[in-house]
Amino acid sequence: MEQLIRQALNVIAHLGNSKRVTLFSVLDNYSGTILGGLVGGEITLPNKSVQFKNTPLEKVILTKQTRTYPCTLVDLLPFPVYKETFRNFECLCLPLLTENNQIKGVAVLSQKTGTTLSSGYLHLFKTICPLVTSIVEINLKNEQALQSSTYDNLTHLYTQHYLKMRLQGEYSRIRRHGGVASLLQIEVDQFAKINEGYHSEEYNKVLQEMANILTDSIRKEIDIPARYDHKQFAILLPNTSVDGAYVLADRIRQRCERRIFTTSQGLPLKVTVSIGVAHNIDTRHETNPDETAIVTEISQRELMHRANLMLDAAKQAGCNKVMVWW
C-alpha cells in the first residue's frame, strides 16, 4: 500500500511540475487523513488525522471542483488557506472522484502564484484520477478494517482481539528483558437485570460509563483496557505486580460503587462490578521453610484462566468484590 501511495505522489508531482504535494483521504466533509506528502523529492507517509472544517478543503469536498487557494505549509506540506499568506506560491486542489462522483480524496499541489495548468495536464490528471482514487479507497478500507479489529464501536476501548495480541507482545518482551504483567477481568454485576429492565440505549449507556471509569483509572498509553465481551472488560497491566494490580482493581470497584448512574429519565441506577486479578508469575513454596521459593512464569492462556477463575470467585462471594490469585 505504501508503495502505491509513493507512486501516486510521484506521478501527480511530475505531471503538475510541482515539488510539493499532499495527498488527503476524505472520511467525511469535515475530516480526513494525510496519506502522504512529497517535498523536494522526499516522500513522507504521516497517516495523520486532519480537520477540513472552515478550510478551503471543505469547499473542495462539497463542490467536488478543482480550485486554487493561497497556500501555507503544515509540516512542510502544502495546505490551502483562505487568507493571503504573502508567499510566492499557491495551492491547486484536485478532487479525487469515483465513477459515481463520490469524493474519496484531494490532491494538493503547490505552484507558483499565477501559474495556469494547461488543459492537457488537466486531461492527463483526469486519466490517472481513477487510479489514484482507487489507491485512496483501498487505503481507507484497510484503515477501517484495522479500526474495527482494534477498537470497540460502543465503548471506544480496545477489542478482545487487540488485547490478546498485546498480551502476546508483552510476553515476548518479558522473555527478552524480564519483568511482570498483570491482568484484570471485570464484569458488570447482575447485568442481565439491567438488560431486561431497560431499553438497549440504557444498558449501552452503562457500558459507556464503565468504559469512562476504566480509562480515568489507568495509566494512559501504558495499560490496555478492552471490552472483553458483551458485559465484561479486561485490562492488561504491563510492568505491574499483583499487588499493584489489586490496588487498581479495588480503586475501579470503589469508583463504580460511588458513581451515580442514571437512566435517560434521570432515575438512579445502582451498578457495581466484580473483578478477578492474576499475574504472570507462579510462586511455589517448598515445605521446608529454609528452601527458596520456586518462581516460574505461567502461560498466556493460564494467566487468562486464573483471572477468570478469580472473577467467578468474586461473583460467588456476593459481587462487588475483588479476588486475586496471589
pLDDT in tens, 59-70: 999 999 989 999
pLDDT in tens, 165-210: 899 999 999 988 888 999 999 999 987 777 665 666 777 888 999 9
Same domain, yes or no: 176 and 281: yes
Same domain, yes or no: 234 and 296: yes
What pLDDT shows up at residue 41? Answer: 86
What pLDDT shows up at residue 12? Answer: 83
What pLDDT shows up at residue 149? Answer: 75
- Give the integer Cα–Cα distance in Å for 298 and 277: 14
**Domain membership flag for residue 122:** yes
Domain that holds residue 165: 158-324
3-state secondary structure of 147: helix
Same domain, yes or no: 15 and 136: yes
Q: Residues of the chain with pLDDT > 90: what percent?
A: 49
What pLDDT shows up at residue 155? Answer: 93
- Give the integer Cα–Cα distance in Å for 315 and 171: 29
- Report the pLDDT averaged over residues 41-65: 91
**Domain membership flag for residue 212:** yes
Report the number of distinct structural domains present in the chain. Answer: 2
Angstrom distances, CA of residue 116 to CA of 47, 65, 71, 111, 170:
30, 16, 15, 9, 56
Q: Strand 273-279 vs strand 232-238: parallel, antiparallel, or unpaired?
A: unpaired
3-state secondary structure of 70: strand
Q: Pick from 128, 148, 168: which residue ends a domain? A: 148
- Give the integer Cα–Cα distance in Å for 70 and 320: 60
Same domain, yes or no: 246 and 306: yes
Indicate if the pLDDT at residue 163 is higher than 60.
Answer: yes
Same domain, yes or no: 137 and 214: no
- Report the pLDDT averaged over residues 6-34: 86
Q: Which residues of 109-134 are buried (b: 16+ CB within 10 A; e: fewer)?
A: bbbeeeeebeeeeeeebeeebeebbe
CATH of the domain at 78: 3.30.450.40
CATH of the domain at 207: 3.30.70.270
Whether 205 contacts 227, CB under 8 Å = no
What pLDDT shows up at residue 20? Answer: 93
Amino acid identity of 309? L
**Domain membership flag for residue 153:** no
pLDDT level of residue 57 (50, 70, 90 thresholds) = very high
Same domain, yes or no: 112 and 186: no
Same domain, yes or no: 131 and 10: yes
Same domain, yes or no: 125 and 40: yes
Angstrom distances, CA of residue 10 to CA of 14, 104, 115, 262:
6, 19, 20, 56
Please state whether the predicted TM-score (pTM) of the whole model is above 0.75. Answer: no
